[in-house]
Amino acid sequence: MEYKPTGRPRGRPKKVVSEVATQATQAGQSMDLPANNRPVATNLEKLNLIREAKRRQRLEEYKGNFEQFATEQVKILTKDSTKGFVPFKFNSAQRIINDRIEEQLKKTGKVRAIVLKARQMGISTYTTARVFWKSYFNAYNKSVVMAHDSATSDALFNMSRNIIDYMSEDFKPELKKSNAKEIHFEHNDSGYRLYTAGSPEAGRGTTPTIAHLSEVAFWTHDEKILAGLFQGISQADGTEVILESTANGVGNTFHQLWLGAMAGENEYIPIFVPWFLMEEYRKTAPEGFKPTEEEEKLMRLYSLDHGQLYWRRLKIAESSPSKFKQEYPCTAEEAFIVSGSSVFDLEILNKYVPKPILSIREFDFQTRMFEQRDEQGSLEIYRQFTHEEPFVIGADTSLGIGRDYSAAVVMTANRQIAAVYRNNRIDPSKFGDLLFYLGRYFNNALLAVESNSMGIATLNRLVQMEYQNLYYQTKMANVSKEEGTRVGWRTTSASKPAIIGFLKNAVEAYDIEIPSRIILHEMSTYITDDNGGMAAAPGYCDDTVIATAIALEVVRTHGTKLTTNRFTFKQKVGGYQTDNTPWL
């Protein structure tokens, strides 16, 4: 059941209009009613009827068009407060978000959106106005507005009050309840309540139909509060949940929800708007302005002009490059960077440019071939090679249940990454089968598999299949060049920092070619923890980082001993013919 706003200024008495006249007005008929015992409308009544008809028509338009309602009925204070309250016209960021939300609403009947934003884009303003619009036009609507601190919560709530104060008199709602924490409409029994995310129990027990959750990444008790809220939110059509925040590092609930949305693992659509789409984020560059090498790269990547680059340069001067990237990111990945704890120098990583993928393939266990794929495939090949070129392969094995990835990095003796395999659904033993044929594919590559945990099953399968170019770990720090008796690479508390250190030095000296976007991304989120350990940031993976480090260590210690001619006696005398191993 829905109720339309009365549109009467508070305290104004109702006017009685004849039902016949109202029907005539809605039908667009003449107001001059016949005199056969029916009342004849006076000019004032006619005027009121026309006005009411237009008001109802406008309400119908507003109900189906948030942008029109916002432009004509919502007044806001801009950054330039000297202009006073001005009509709310969407900026580019707000329009992008509105289009995505309306598209989801049309498709699914409800809204579930998570917005990663730069600072001062007006996203909170957009969401606050939208919550008001939904409550204004839908009966019995219960909305929740929650921000990370009381100052922000109060600002959002005052914004709602300003909407009411500056609406046209014909559309102002009467309020059933109005206090510092709650607004309740008289005409449809809808309203919303303000909360501050200061307590783990904030919002618990509520059953909202609309929720605007602001700066979620900065909530102290984010996990507990969201768990309580999500339990109470209905899945019915018309419900809306919008989480919006600037980034605040990795591992928090906002970050986890964002990753889930990006992977399609939850019902939220991820919406990101880069800073350079904001028209006001520019400043006239001085005469003789010359972009730096990094700025020229940004110009090429994002079509930035000198005005945008100069504004960016001034903002960085106020804080730091890493702080700017967090608060004014170009990409979603950049927003979550934690520069202080990153193992690899982020500025240097940013100079590595991913290369086009030459070929995408997927291994077929029946044909034992790497089949060509047009788009999705676990093996990405970046360069052509000859039959005489030697390779090493570093491999890291996972459990294969959809979490961490089994990864293999193919590297030349010149430290050029030729291919990357990555799959989080492959069984450890099956990974051994795949590595057997991957090694053969790349000229009987020297194959180094991490021998920890799940890697044991992978190595056992490779030994069973008689792969003849398996790596046997040497003594650490190259004390001896002789190979030992332990097959595979064993990662320990001593060996891990060493190989990561070698990889870090190679990256920072540009002594390695990394064409893979996946590896560069995992390196950017590879961090040190409070205890000095190194691992992927919460919610990220490091499988290709470990595989790359192993491959580099093997090249470093065995690069001069690589060969492409490793076969068993059985293969040489004829067994190879029945092996049916596919080649290029």
> Is 359-579 in CATH node 3.30.420.240?
yes
Helix segments in 293-363, DSSP class H: 293-302, 306-318, 321-327, 332-335, 346-349
Q: What's the average model confidence in pLDDT over 354-360? A: 92
pLDDT at 28 over 70: no
The pLDDT assigned to 337 comes to 66
Q: Three-state SS string across 255-300, please?
A: HHHHHHHHCCCCCCEEEECCHHHCCCCCCCCCCCCCCCHHHHHHHH
Residue 248 — pLDDT band, cuts 50, 70, 90?
confident
Least reliable range by pLDDT among 315-329, 339-353, 500-514: 339-353
The pLDDT assigned to 353 comes to 84
| Average pLDDT value over all residues in the chain | 85
Out of 403-412, 466-475, 534-543, give the one with best mean pLDDT: 403-412
pLDDT at 481 over 80: no
pLDDT at 209 over 70: yes
Tell me which architecture the domain covering 89-273 has in CATH: 3-Layer(aba) Sandwich (3.40)
DSSP-derived letter for residue 416 is B
Report how far residue 195's alpha carbon sits from residue 470's, in angstroms, rounded to the nearest whole number: 61
| Better pLDDT: 521 or 298 | 298
Q: What's the average model confidence in pLDDT over 449-455? A: 90
Q: Which two tokens stand for residue 270?
A: 């991820």
Ranges of CATH 3.40.50.300 domains, the chain = 89-273
Q: Are 413 and 559 in contact (CB under 8 A)?
A: yes
Name the amino acid, one letter, at 135: S
Q: What's the average model confidence in pLDDT over 467-479? A: 74
The string of pLDDT tens digits covering residues 96-114 is: 999 999 999 999 999 999 9
Q: What's the average model confidence in pLDDT over 133-151? A: 89
Residue 566 — pLDDT band, cuts 50, 70, 90?
low
Report how far residue 308's alpha carbon sits from residue 541's, in angstroms, rounded to the nearest whole number: 34
pLDDT at 247 over 80: yes
Least reliable range by pLDDT among 41-45, 146-150, 284-288, 566-570: 566-570
Report how far residue 3's alpha carbon sits from residue 510's, in angstroms, rounded to the nearest whole number: 67
Q: Are 64 and 57 in contact (CB under 8 A)?
A: no
pLDDT at 463 over 90: yes
Ranges of CATH 3.30.420.240 domains, the chain = 359-579
Q: What's the average model confidence in pLDDT over 204-233? A: 87
The string of pLDDT tens digits covering residues 482-527 is: 456 689 999 888 899 999 999 999 999 999 999 998 999 899 889 8
Q: What's the average model confidence in pLDDT over 13-20? A: 38
The string of pLDDT tens digits covering residues 417-430 is: 999 999 999 999 99
The pLDDT assigned to 475 comes to 65
Tell me what percent of the residues of the chain surpass a pLDDT of 90. 53
Q: Are 502 and 553 in contact (CB under 8 A)?
A: yes
pLDDT at 470 over 60: yes
